């Protein structure tokens, strides 16, 4: 299912705050992944193991945030529950 279809369902059936939270969380996950990749690239260039660990920690935080986003937006009483049925 495309992101635009999910966006249409969220904005059509629910208030604007749910849409704003969904977009903000997606942007936060994308920003965290970009930061993690930048840290890992710097770690590779400088041969710094601590930067690689920091990149892995940031990436795991992005995965955690994405998991919370999916659970929140697709739970039994969530705005996106009818999209996946």
Which residues in the chain come in under a pLDDT of 70?
1-16, 18, 75-85
So what's the pLDDT on residue 14?
54
So what's the pLDDT on residue 1?
47
Q: Which residues contact 7 (CB under 8 A, 6 or more apart)?
A: 19, 22, 23
Residues 50-74 pLDDT 10s: 999 999 999 999 999 888 888 877 7
3-state helix/strand/coil string of the chain: CCHHHHHHHHHHHCCHHHHHHHHHHHHHHHHHHHHHHHHHHHHHHHCCHHHHHHHHHHHHHHHHHHHHHHHHHHCCCCCCCCCCC
């Amino acid at each position: 299912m495309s992101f635009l279809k999910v966006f249409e369902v969220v904005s059509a059936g629910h208030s604007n705050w749910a849409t704003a939270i969904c977009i903000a969380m997606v942007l936060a996950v994308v920003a965290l992944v970009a930061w993690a990749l930048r840290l890992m690239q710097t770690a590779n260039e400088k041969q710094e193991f601590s930067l690689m660990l920091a990149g892995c920690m940031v990436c795991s935080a992005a995965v955690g945030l994405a998991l919370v986003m999916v659970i929140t937006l697709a739970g039994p009483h969530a705005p996106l529950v009818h999209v996946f049925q």
